[in-house]
Copies of this chain bind each other. A is one copy, B any other.
């Protein structure tokens, strides 16, 4: 492990000078600069980013946490999805001395990096942030066509696993009730469900639910009218699961006796109401994202990547 000290010795200068050369700061004569650079190359030296960060810890990074008003509202209610995500972000930021600013979309000034929270950003929005030249990390969101870093939950794997579990227990007629498929997370869960069904030679059946018009009533009505009662219902999140169960029980259909229901997220409601679900690690979503942003701000691992956090099935009492 070659250190700055060795470089300094071999080049016959002080560590301060080497540091200046590395960071292009201060004044160094062309001659010594070249000499130092040569020695650095010879020794195959590269600075340890954390030592760097530690040493220069007087001037901290500022990261903007960008949220649309819709998402920002989550910060009010303790236990909401993005509340937890933000907690994760904050913890790491505090630990690392990163200054956090929550801003509305559209603010670009004076940030060393951006954390874009949630699915309310489209390609153009993201491009705008990328154009600042500062690191950008999408949180719980992902856009395939664009080379941007993202930290997401493995919705595909989670959905696949839970459907597989149901199938292994003998379930066959499993339907998927989902809302708008624009958000990446819902789309992933959708494909996880679909592929699990197909891989086991079962027919996927979908019902779309419009969260804005809140027509769960009519969706459930439609489902019961046109099809036999399914054996299990997989919803794209716990919120929908709650609504579905409500509608079901309004009609005298018992969960899980008549039909099983599984949600997604492991939200507070799922816990309170004992809904079987797939846990999304919201805190970790936040902390991973913040840590990734920090890494990028330090100039490390800058090749864009998507990181997917594993989920976990949480069995409660809405599945027989």
Chain B hits for A94, CB < 8 A: 1-2, 44
The interface stretch among A115-123, A260-268, A303-311 is A303-311
Q: Mark A288-320, 1 if CB is under 8 A from B, else 0.
A: 100100000000110111111110000000000
Would you give the shortest CB distance from A191 to chain B, in whole angstroms?
9
Find A310's partner among B48, B54, B91, B303 (CB 8 Å cutoff): B303
Q: Taking the complex as formed, is A157 at the interface, i.e. its CB lies under 8 A from any CB of chain B?
A: yes
Q: Mark A53-76, 1 if CB is under 8 A from B, else 0.
A: 110000000000000000000000
Q: Taking the complex as formed, is A171 at the interface, i.e. its CB lies under 8 A from any CB of chain B?
A: no
Check A288 against B303 for contact (C-beta < 8 Å): yes
Check B97 against A1 for contact (C-beta < 8 Å): yes
Number of copies: 2
Residue of B nearest to A191 (CB): B195
Q: Taking the complex as formed, is A17 at the interface, i.e. its CB lies under 8 A from any CB of chain B?
A: no
A180 CA to B177 CA, complexed, in Å: 36
Q: Taking the complex as formed, is A144 at the interface, i.e. its CB lies under 8 A from any CB of chain B?
A: yes
Q: Taking the complex as formed, is A238 at the interface, i.e. its CB lies under 8 A from any CB of chain B?
A: no
A51 CA to B144 CA, complexed, in Å: 36
Q: Taking the complex as formed, is A277 at the interface, i.e. its CB lies under 8 A from any CB of chain B?
A: no
Check B303 against A306 for contact (C-beta < 8 Å): no
Looking at A44, A287, A304, the one whose CB has the most chain B CB atoms below 10 A away is A304
Chain B hits for A307, CB < 8 A: 305-308
With contacts A94-B44, A144-B160 taken as known, whether A308 is within 8 angstroms of B306 at the C-beta atoms is yes
Chain B hits for A140, CB < 8 A: none
Q: Taking the complex as formed, is A250 at the interface, i.e. its CB lies under 8 A from any CB of chain B?
A: no
Chain B hits for A308, CB < 8 A: 305-308
Q: Taking the complex as formed, is A147 at the interface, i.e. its CB lies under 8 A from any CB of chain B?
A: yes
A11 CA to B301 CA, complexed, in Å: 38
Residue of B nearest to A295 (CB): B291
Identify the 10 closest CB pairs spanning chains A and B, nearest first: A50-B50, A1-B97, A284-B303, A307-B307, A304-B310, A306-B308, A305-B309, A305-B307, A147-B310, A46-B95
Interface residues, chain A, with chain B CB atoms under 8 Å away: 1-2, 44, 46, 48, 50-51, 53-54, 91, 94-97, 144-145, 147, 154, 157, 160-161, 281, 284, 287-288, 291, 300-301, 303-310
25 sampled A-B residue pairs with Cβ under 8 A: A1-B97, A2-B94, A44-B94, A48-B54, A48-B95, A50-B50, A50-B51, A50-B53, A50-B54, A51-B54, A54-B54, A145-B161, A281-B303, A284-B301, A284-B303, A288-B301, A288-B305, A291-B301, A303-B310, A304-B309, A304-B310, A305-B308, A306-B307, A307-B307, A308-B308
Having A1-B96, A50-B53, A144-B161, one finds 6 other A-B pairs with CB under 8 Å, namely A2-B94, A154-B306, A304-B309, A305-B310, A307-B308, A308-B308
